[in-house]
Amino acid sequence: MRAVWLREFGGPEVLVAGDAPDPVAGPGQVVVEVAFAGITFVETQFRATGNGPFTGEPPFILGNGVGGVVAAVGAGVDEGLVGRRVISSTGGSGGYAERAAVDAAGLFEVPGGLALDDALALLADGRTAMMLVKAAEPAAGERVLVEAAAGGVGSLLVQLARAAGAEVVAAAGGTRKVELARELGAQEVVDYLEPGWADAVGRVDVVFDGVGGPIGRAAFELLGEGGRMLSFGLASGEWAGVSEEAAAARGVALRQPKVTPQEIRDRTESALAEAAAGRLRPVIGQRFPLERAADAHAAIQSRATVGKTLLEVTR
Ligand SMILES: NC(=O)c1ccc[n+]([C@@H]2O[C@H](COP(=O)([O-])OP(=O)(O)OC[C@H]3O[C@@H](n4cnc5c(N)ncnc54)[C@H](OP(=O)(O)O)[C@@H]3O)[C@@H](O)[C@H]2O)c1
């Protein structure tokens, strides 16, 4: 099969298309005939340094999310799954490929009426956004600041916080991105590439901080008594690094979602159901052919993307 190998840790050019052995479904597994492979921001960081939530020694096939059709099942797996439209995580490797072997227990069947690419766009980002909003508990009328608001997770946070009745302040880099966030429902937008952006925002009740660094720290300063800060990423290369003491001094709670296997499954299913019902819109901003995974990574890490970036496998 065709696949994209990560030859060594480094720049986007270390992602090289080539041949790979066809995966075989082991006991409890299925082989998915991949139509779309997802890319998350953290995969670009892992590719660059080898650090992150994944493990693997090059050369290996990168990619943590696939969408496609079940082509074969292993021992102990219901044969009725063959032909079903599914999305699945891979455990961190094997996704940028024509076929992937994944655990049957980790599959999500795509609801009728939801496109496969839309479902895959929600796989990681949807559950992440759902868990974050649940942990933040935004009340109707509260002001909620979303960083990287046009990104994969951010574009969903904007919609979910708005649906919860919050006043959403979308913060992002550049006019195109803030306008997208406005289209998605944000009542206020701010371009944080502009100096003094935080002063223009004023007091907020919740901060969703996926950027960290100076932007995350400036956002924290906007919180007051009763505020909640959820730091879930370091797209800037650095965590916001707000200490418990600094938060307590302002009366701010540093919150993290409860991440259990059951919670991950439930929140993924909720995201898929919301999208199938037309209440949540995954934004697929870019599509690249599988062979151009390196170009996709270059676009993501240079902040040139909006929403989700997918690799398309054409046969
Ligand atoms: N996807 C998931 O399921 C998941 C799960 C857990 C945690 N996270 C974390 O959530 C954050 C968002 O993830 P995502 O996959 O949805 O990515 P994304 O938001 O689609 O892309 C990252 C965004 O971060 C912003 N950014 C700010 N400073 C940057 C810099 N120096 N270099 C590159 N980008 C910068 C950019 O938006 P602007 O140009 O608007 O600043 C960029 O588009 C990341 O920190 C990620 O690690 C994601």
Q: What is the pLDDT of residues 205-250, one digit of tens each?
A: 999 999 999 999 999 999 999 999 999 999 999 999 999 999 999 9
- CA gap 213, 131 in Å, rounded: 22
Check if 177 has its Cβ closer than 6 Å to any atom of ligand 1.
yes
Taking the C-alpha atoms of 70, 71, 74 and 80 in order, what is their torsion angle to the nearest 10 degrees?
60
- Crossing angle (nearest 10°) for helices 293-301 and 41-49: 100
Backbone φ and ψ of 38, nearest 5°: -90, 155
Task: Give the residue, out of 44, 231, 302, 303, with the most ligand 1 atoms within 8 A of its beta carbon, to mutate for a pocket test.
Answer: 303
User: Residue 312, exposed/middle/buried by CB under 10 A (0-12, 13-18, 19+)?
Assistant: middle
**Ligand 1 mean position, distance from CA 301 (Å):** 9
pLDDT digits (tens, 9 = 90+) for 81-95: 999 999 999 999 999
Token readout for 22 is 């066809």
Cα atoms in the Cβ-side hemisphere of radius 13 Å centred on 152: 24
Question: Which one-letter amino acid corresponds to residue 129?
Answer: A
**Ligand 1 mean position, distance from CA 64 (Å):** 16
Helix (H) / strand (E) containing 73:
strand 65-73
Check if 232 has its Cβ closer than 6 Å to any atom of ligand 1.
yes
The domains located in the chain, with CATH, are 2-109+283-312 (3.90.180.10), 124-254 (3.40.50.720)
- CA gap 136, 141 in Å, rounded: 14
pLDDT digits (tens, 9 = 90+) for 170-185: 999 999 999 999 999 9
Check if 303 has its Cβ closer than 6 Å to any atom of ligand 1.
yes
Check if 132 has its Cβ closer than 6 Å to any atom of ligand 1.
no
Three-state DSSP string of 122-150? HHHHHHHHHHHHHHHCCCCCCEEEECCCC
Check if 234 has its Cβ closer than 6 Å to any atom of ligand 1.
yes
Token readout for 312 is 């398309």
pLDDT digits (tens, 9 = 90+) for 144-154: 999 999 999 99
Task: Give nearest CA residue, ligand 1 atom 42.
Answer: 303
Number of H helices, E strands in the chain: 9, 16
- CA gap 80, 219 in Å, rounded: 50
Give me the pLDDT at residue 192, please: 98
Length of the chain: 315
CB of 236 closer than 8 Å to CB of 214: yes
pTM, to two decimals: 0.98
Token readout for 62 is 């990168």
- Residues 6 or more apart whose CB falls under 8 angstroms from that of 80 comprise none
Check if 41 has its Cβ closer than 6 Å to any atom of ligand 1.
yes
Give me the pLDDT at residue 287, please: 98
Task: Give the residue, out of 49, 51, 211, with the most ligand 1 atoms within 8 A of its beta carbon, to mutate for a pocket test.
Answer: 211
- CA gap 6, 196 in Å, rounded: 40
Give me the pLDDT at residue 267, please: 98
CB of 102 closer than 8 Å to CB of 44: no
The radius of gyration of the chain from alpha carbons, rounded to an integer in Å, stands at 20
Check if 236 has its Cβ closer than 6 Å to any atom of ligand 1.
yes
- CA gap 5, 27 in Å, rounded: 25
Q: With a cut of 50, which residues of the chain have pLDDT below it?
A: none
Task: Give nearest CA residue, ligand 1 atom 17.
Answer: 41
Average pLDDT in the chain: 97
Question: Which one-letter amino acid corresponds to residue 253?
Answer: A
